[in-house]
Amino acid sequence: MNVLLFSILIWFGSVIAGYLGSLTGLGGGVVIIPLLTLGFGVDIRYAIGASLVSVIATSSGAAAAYVKEGFSNIRIGMFLEIATTVGALAGAFLALRLSTPIIAVIFGLVLMYSAYISSRPRNENLCLDKPDRLAAILKMDGTYPAPEGLTSYNVCSVHLGFSLMFIAGIISGLLGIGSGAVKVLAMDQAMRLPFKVSTATSNFMIGVTAAASAGIYLNKGYIDPGLTMPVMLGVLLGSSVGARHLFGAETKKLRVVFGIVIFLLALEMIYSGLKGGILK
Amino acid sequence: MNDTGQKPSNREMETLIGNLLRAGVIIAASVVSLGGIIYIFRHGFELAEYKVFLREPADLCSIGGILRNAFSGHGRGLIQLGLLLLIATPIARVALSIFEFARKHDTLYVIVTLIVFSILIYSLLGR
């Protein structure tokens, strides 16, 4: 296939991946990496590099909108970014050492977990009774614009959230995805933030986490300009269209369909990783 | 409660950060597009080969090499420069937050933000 046709096809696939990723909150990376490796036979290391860069693009683009609406908590985000960036460095170094079939299998497992999380209803379980001492020291409690006016909220188990964020960072650095599923889990379930606050803050953090490992990927020659160009431009377009449809469209059915697609892609990644065939 | 005096400056900071992120993405995407057009114009009918992993040439991996490549008008160098600008966008956001927290005399968060900033710089420059 020549460069022109290859770039057009990859760009088109990336637009769709970015659109679905933003609509479901999973991010473009979870579709882009299987698309590139299984669909186009690209080495998974190039695919991870390209995906990581597009994660920064979508996160920064979306965060710009979220931040202005006043949902994201910059203090919580910044504190947790210590955990995610250190994790991302560890993940990137791990990626330099692990063989590609192992990375493919881990990717498949993480993909399955993401599909499972996205198919489940989210339970808002606010932190009401026992405010966290660490949260008080770190001045994390905040307010957000709810439909009924400015509403204040507290933050629970900061230490648990911090540990989960370290894991989210490793996953992001190792696999080149935003690992929004783990970040949202940490903030919804452990720290018990309101949905909109955890979604916006997670999005805000994804770009910084990805930048931490992208530097290493760039230095080590994992980011190919010819491949990354159509991926980044496509995902950016797809996700900005997706973000516009986010609150209006009926997304429940789409989430279920997308969950099944992700699950099948995950099986295929694990299978080809174990077989060592395509991904050698 | 005690955050009445803080609210306007929080709002300001959020707007500033939002604008920075948006500008960074738009500039990066424009440079990548320009590089992409040059790259496809020159190499569009060559074979696209990504099945075998070969590390990128050294001059597409380091900041100095990317700058040299981009300013001599190479498509791949320009794309790489755009990607570098994109990676720099969240880093600039963190740098901006250091100043904003310092302006509010929030020493604790100046330290927190400095830690994050150092990790990012280490990743980008470290070999």
d(CA B21, CA B34): 20
Does B79 sit within 8 Å of A85, measured CB to CB? no
Half-sphere exposure of A151 (CA within 13 A, CB side): 14
In chain B, what residues touch A2 (CB-CB under 8 Å)?
A: 44-48
Best CA proximity match to A212, nearest among A106, A55, A103, A72: A55
In chain B, what residues touch A5 (CB-CB under 8 Å)?
A: 48
| Mean pLDDT calculated for residue range B68-96 | 92
Higher pLDDT, B56 or B25: B25
Res. B127 pLDDT band, cuts 50 70 90: low
Q: Which of A232, A235, A236, A279 to mutate to test the interface with B (most CBs of B within 10 A)?
A: A232
Q: Which of A98-107, A141-150, B90-99 has the lowest average pLDDT? A: A141-150
A148 Cβ contact partners less than 8 Å away, ≥ 6 residues apart: none
| Mean pLDDT calculated for residue range B99-103 | 90
Does B45 sit within 8 Å of A3, measured CB to CB? yes
Closest Cα in chain A to B64: A219
Per-residue pLDDT, A248: 53
| Mean pLDDT calculated for residue range A97-122 | 85
Alpha carbon of A213: minimum distance to chain B alpha carbons (Å): 7
Per-residue pLDDT tens over the stretch A3-43:
899 999 999 999 998 888 777 767 777 889 999 999 999 99
Higher pLDDT, A5 or B69: A5
Please tell me the total count of domains within chain A.
1
| Mean pLDDT calculated for residue range A127-145 | 80
Residue B77 has pLDDT above 80, yes or no: yes
Res. A241 pLDDT band, cuts 50 70 90: confident
Does B84 sit within 8 Å of A229, measured CB to CB? no
Alpha carbon of B85: minimum distance to chain A alpha carbons (Å): 10
Higher pLDDT, A251 or A278: A251
SS3 A149: strand
In chain A, what residues touch B44 (CB-CB under 8 Å)?
A: 2-4
Residue span of the structural domain in which A242 resides: 3-275
Alpha carbon of B46: minimum distance to chain A alpha carbons (Å): 5
Res. B64 pLDDT band, cuts 50 70 90: confident
A140 Cβ contact partners less than 8 Å away, ≥ 6 residues apart: A73, A75, A76, A79, A155, A158
Asked if residue A57 is part of any domain, the answer here is: yes
Asked if residue A89 is part of any domain, the answer here is: yes
Alpha carbon of B120: minimum distance to chain A alpha carbons (Å): 5
Asked if residue A280 is part of any domain, the answer here is: no
Nearest CB to B116: which of A43, A53, A208? A208
Question: What is the pTM (predicted TM-score) of this model?
Answer: 0.89
d(CA A206, CA B76): 26
* Helical pair A195-219 and A74-97, crossing angle rounded to 10 deg: 40
Paired with A251 in beta bridges are none
Does B14 sit within 8 Å of A233, measured CB to CB? no
Give the angle B18-A243-A30 at the CA atoms, nearest 5°: 105
Asked if residue A126 is part of any domain, the answer here is: yes
ipTM: 0.88
Asked if residue A245 is part of any domain, the answer here is: yes
Contact A58, A239 (CB under 8 A): yes
Higher pLDDT, A168 or A148: A168
d(CA A250, CA A205): 27
| Mean pLDDT calculated for residue range A218-222 | 90
CB contacts < 8 A (A, B): 204
d(CA A11, CA A237): 10
Residue B44 has pLDDT above 60, yes or no: yes
Q: Which of A14, A54, A56 to mutate to test the interface with B (most CBs of B within 10 A)?
A: A56
Per-residue pLDDT, B39: 93
Res. B2 pLDDT band, cuts 50 70 90: very low
Residue A244 has pLDDT above 80, yes or no: no
| Mean pLDDT calculated for residue range A148-164 | 87
pLDDT > 70: percent of chain B: 91
| Mean pLDDT calculated for residue range B29-43 | 94
| Mean pLDDT calculated for residue range A61-67 | 74
In chain A, what residues touch B115 (CB-CB under 8 Å)?
A: 82
Alpha carbon of B71: minimum distance to chain A alpha carbons (Å): 16
Residue B32 has pLDDT above 80, yes or no: yes
Nearest CB to B53: which of A36, A46, A225? A46
